[in-house]
Amino acid sequence: MKSQEKAEYAGELNDLPEDSNFVKPYLLKLREKAQREIDPLHILDFSDGVLIRFLRARDFDIALSLKLLLNYQRWRRECPEISANLHPSSVLGLLQNHYHGVLAHRDHSGSRVLVYRIGQWNPKDFSAYEVFRISLITSELIVRETQTQRCGVKVIFDLQGWCFGHALQINPSLAKRIASVLTDSFPLKVRGIHLINEPIFFRPVFTMLRPFLPDKIKQRIHMHGGSFADSLCDHFHSTILPPEFGGEGPAIEEVCQEWTNHILRSEELLAQLSAHPAEEMVAPEDRQSAT
């Protein structure tokens, strides 16, 4: 099958539910390969609801989906400082500072739009690992959304307030881990990364991150600078953006508060994910739906 035909077929599969007869063979193949790759002493409870995330994230390429699944498992196991404590209480101060939010409406392509406000992160109070934990919390919540599995995410980083204290938190080891999760260790498609208000002295940090990013991600990074309103609206309809970003949607603090409320309402699920070993690869509610 030619590459264009494969892409079209993958797109058709992407739109089908996990119980489709066309999708089931892919789920079966991925499950069989995963069970052969992973230590048989580990609990192997790969529900369809979990596996479909990895298939959609890699356009139903079995080999790439397996690699992504194994990378996710390995990363969750080897980075307990981030992944072992997804309790909202561990990052409540950052959330209450309106550091992070998810826009209420998706963009024109169906992608979820995430916003991070660096100026609301005080590096004296929170480490980069705690900041990154917020990203993981949000990722674990939205990856359960079928439309997000299909259409991916776009991210807006507002770098107003970026200072040397932030830069000192980002070392090469952490930069590599962040890049790894962004690209090949979490089952979400990153459709775009947009930087606004980036100062000149942010560039050394970006230079540190860039070598770890694949070309596909590099091509999806857009730097808008301080005069970002027009260029940002070239990528996002103004009706979904907050006024602070040149849009007509809800204010950014309202966006952040609404998402904080959603995270707090999800505390039980996040507690289950924190306690659940990465090797099992399935949250309790997914296991129930698979039976």
pLDDT in tens, 86-138: 999 999 999 999 999 999 999 999 999 999 999 999 999 999 888 989 999 99
Same domain, yes or no, for 133 and 242?
Answer: yes
Residues composing the chain? 291
**Where residue 99 sits, what CATH number does that domain have?**
3.40.525.10
Residue where the block lists tokens 């498609």: 189
The single residue listed with the structure tokens 């849009």 is 247
What CATH number has the domain bearing residue 72?
1.10.8.20
At residue 45, the pLDDT reads: 58
Q: Note the pLDDT of residue 46.
A: 76
Mean pLDDT of 57-74: 93
Q: Do 134 and 262 belong to one domain? A: yes
What's the CA gap between 112 and 5, in Å, rounded?
27
Q: Alpha-carbon distance 279 to 77, whole Å?
A: 8
Which of the residue ranges 141-145, 252-256, 270-274 would you say has the lowest mean pLDDT?
A: 270-274
| Burial of residue 34 (number of CB atoms within 10 Å: 0-12, 13-18, 19+) | buried
Residues 129 and 177 in one domain: yes
pLDDT, mean of residues 156-173: 88
Q: Is 158 helix (H, G, I), strand (E, B) or coil?
A: strand
Query: Taking 50 as the threshold, does the pLDDT of residue 290 lie above it?
Result: no
Query: CB-based burial of residue 287 (10 Å sphere; 0-12 exposed, 13-18 middle, 19+ buried)?
Result: middle
pLDDT for residue 41: 43
Q: Which pLDDT band holds residue 8 (cuts at 50, 70, 90)? A: low
pLDDT band, very low/low/confident/very high, at 169 (cuts 50, 70, 90):
confident
Beta carbons of 148 and 142 less than 8 angstroms apart: yes
Q: 131 and 45: one domain?
A: no
Q: Kind of pairing, strands 221-225 and 190-196?
A: parallel
Q: Do residue 121 and residue 261 come from a single domain?
A: yes
Contacts of 237 (CB under 8 A, 6+ apart): 107, 108, 247
Q: 53 and 173: one domain? A: no
Query: Which whole number is the average pLDDT over 228-244?
Result: 94
Residue 263 has pLDDT above 80, yes or no: yes
Residue 112 and residue 102 in contact, taking contact as beta carbons nearer than 8 Å: yes
* Sheet architecture: strand order including 100-102: 100-102, 112-117, 153-158, 190-196, 221-225
60 and 165 together in one domain: no
Q: Bigger pLDDT: 207 or 140?
A: 140
pLDDT at 113: 98
Locate 194 and state its tokens: 């947009």
pLDDT higher than 80, residue 83? no
Q: How many Å apart are CA 22 and CA 125, to the nearest integer? A: 50
Residue 137's SS3 state is helix
What pTM was estimated for this model as a whole?
0.87
Q: What is the pLDDT of residue 174?
A: 77
Angstrom distance (rounded) from CA 94 to CA 210: 26
Residue 284 has pLDDT above 70, yes or no: no
Same domain, 137 and 256: yes
Lowest-confidence segment of 26-35, 90-99, 169-178, 260-269 by average pLDDT: 169-178
Give yes or no for a contact between 221 and 208, defined as CB atoms under 8 angstroms apart: no
> Average pLDDT for residues 54-74, to the nearest whole number?
93
Range of the domain at 160: 90-268
| pLDDT (mean) for 42-47 | 60
Number of domains present in the structure of the chain: 2
pLDDT band at 175 (very low <50, low <70, confident <90, very high): confident
